[in-house]
């Protein structure tokens, strides 16, 4: 018989290295003579899309489009150290470094432009859609490219280097008391599963994932992170297990070490909550790791809801479920 159940899982995750470990990111920025710009950072894009996020951050700040920004990363001869692509820290931490660096280069550009436009303060200058000009005075406005090029002729360049360090403190080693991480990212997921009581097979039918992202800098990438996280969570909950015998791996192959395939991925509904984190770039928090955390709990709780079997050891293999059903029958 096939029985369905639903389960809820919540989680929290302290992003960043934490516990007072130096969590520093750096970025270099150069605004070019044609009004485009380059961002250099050590932050490796491991496929999660950080380079695109940094381009969006720089473009937003300079009144440009993403395609006007070149992001080059992860080359030690050219880019400054931005720490590991880990700990859900690149959007937040290197994002902050990029934002600081862009703002620094922008600040000297605005100062220069204020002087050129006879505006007594750079507060009166704005960058918009590739133009630079005086706020509220369309007659004092020119293409950003012209301004930057003319500045070069006078020996002015708009380049910058900045670093950003996340806040965290070490906990007391005796009591564990302290503020080890900041910020924390929250999330919850619902899984609906179908359990075959004859075979013990669990099929995940649907996952609804709601994650706290501070601000979705790119909603498509938020959805991508969630889809990947849920899929990895399904593998953790139901499939993946290294079989060890005296330290030797008995299944070092993808034919015997099972990871989810396209056929195992259910319908995933990715939702997010935007509650700005004031220390993050444009209010953003990281999402990389949190996206996979609640999945395991949602699935395990859904299995119990479906067939009344409480799985306490991962993965929830058909054998464990059949054993649980048998014990229930006896008990």
Partner 1 sequence: MKTSVVGSRVVREDAWGKVFGQTKFPADVNLQGQIYAVVIRSPHPHARVLGINSEQAMSLAGVVAVLTAKDVPNNSHGVLFRDQPVLAEYIRMVGDPVAVVGAETEEIARAAAKLVEVEYQVLPAVFDPEEAMMPDALPLHPTLRPTNVLYHMPIRRGNLQEGWAQADVVIEKEYSTQHVDHAFLQPEAVLAHVDERGHMVVQTATQYAHYDRGEIAHALGLRFSQVQVKTLAVGGAFGGREDISLQIMAALMAWNTLRPVKMENTREESFYSHSKRHPMRMHYKTGATKDGKLVALEAKIIGDAGAYSSWSINVLRKSAVHASGPYVIPNVSIDSYAVFTNNPYSGAMRGFGAAQTVLAYESQMDLLAKEIGISPLEIRLRNLFKVGSITATGQVLTGSVPLDQCLAKIAPYLQRGGVSQ
For 57, what's the count of Cα atoms within 13 Å in the CB-facing half-sphere? 33
Backbone phi, psi, residue 78, to 5° = -130, -25
Window 40-59: residues binding partner 1 (CB under 8 A): 42, 44-47, 49, 51-52, 55-57, 59
Tell me the CA distances in angstroms from 10 to 43, 62, 166, 208, one per residue in order: 29, 38, 25, 12
We find the least distance from the C-beta atom of residue 119 to partner 1, in angstroms, to be 23
221: contact with partner 1 by CB under 8 A: yes
| Beta carbons of 74 and 42 less than 8 angstroms apart | yes
Contacts of 102 (CB under 8 A, 6+ apart): 29, 37, 39, 57, 58, 61, 62, 160
Among residues 151 and 303, whose Cβ is nearest to partner 1?
303
**Residue in 138, 312, 319, 330 binding partner 1, rule: CB under 8 A:** 312
Which residue in the list 60, 194, 289, 327 is annotated as catalytic? Answer: 289
Please, what is the Cα angle at 221 between 217 and 222, to 5 degrees?
A: 75
Residue 121 region, left (φ>0) first, then alpha (ψ -120 to 50), else beta? Answer: beta
Window 172-191: residues binding partner 1 (CB under 8 A): 173-184, 186-190
**Residue in 3, 206, 227, 322 binding partner 1, rule: CB under 8 A:** 206
Window 153-172: residues binding partner 1 (CB under 8 A): 171
**Residue in 35, 133, 200, 214 binding partner 1, rule: CB under 8 A:** 214
Among residues 70 and 150, whose Cβ is nearest to partner 1?
70
Dist CA 143 CA 133 (whole Å): 9
Window 70-89: residues binding partner 1 (CB under 8 A): 71, 73-77, 79, 81-87
We find the least distance from the C-beta atom of residue 247 to partner 1, in angstroms, to be 3
**Residue in 107, 199, 261, 267 binding partner 1, rule: CB under 8 A:** 267
Active site residue 289: yes
């Amino acid at each position: 018989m096939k029985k369905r159940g639903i389960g809820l899982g919540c989680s929290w995750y302290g992003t960043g290295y934490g516990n007072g470990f130096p969590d520093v990111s750096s970025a270099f920025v150069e605004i070019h003579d044609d009004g485009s710009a380059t961002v250099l950072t050590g932050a490796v894009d491991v496929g999660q899309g950080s380079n695109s996020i940094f381009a969006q951050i720089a473009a937003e700040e300079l009144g440009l489009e993403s395609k006007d920004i070149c992001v080059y990363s992860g080359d030690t001869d050219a880019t400054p150290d931005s720490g590991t692509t880990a700990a859900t820290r690149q959007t937040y931490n290197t994002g902050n470094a990029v934002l600081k660096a862009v703002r620094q280069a922008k600040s000297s550009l605005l100062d220069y432009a204020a002087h050129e436009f006879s505006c007594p303060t750079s507060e009166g200058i704005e960058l918009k859609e590739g133009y630079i000009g005086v706020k509220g005075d369309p007659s004092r406005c020119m293409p950003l490219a012209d301004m930057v090029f003319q500045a070069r002729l006078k020996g002015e360049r708009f380049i910058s280097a900045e670093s950003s360090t996340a806040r965290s403190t070490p906990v007391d080693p005796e009591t564990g008391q302290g503020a080890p991480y900041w910020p924390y990212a929250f999330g919850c997921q619902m899984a609906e599963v179908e359990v075959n009581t004859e075979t013990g097979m669990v099929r995940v039918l649907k996952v609804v994932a709601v994650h706290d992202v501070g601000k979705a800098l790119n909603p498509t990438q938020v959805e991508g992170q969630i889809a990947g996280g849920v899929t990895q969570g399904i593998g953790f909950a139901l499939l993946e297990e290294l079989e060890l015998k005296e330290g030797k791996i008995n299944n070092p192959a993808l034919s015997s070490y099972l990871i989810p395939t396209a056929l195992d991925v259910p319908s995933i509904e990715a939702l997010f909550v935007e509650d700005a984190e004031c220390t993050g770039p444009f209010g953003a928090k990281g999402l990389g790791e949190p996206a996979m955390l609640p999945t395991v709990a949602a699935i395990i709780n859904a299995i119990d809801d479906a067939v009344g079997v409480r799985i306490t050891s991962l993965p929830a293999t058909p054998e464990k479920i059949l054993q649980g059903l048998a014990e229930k029958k006896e008990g």
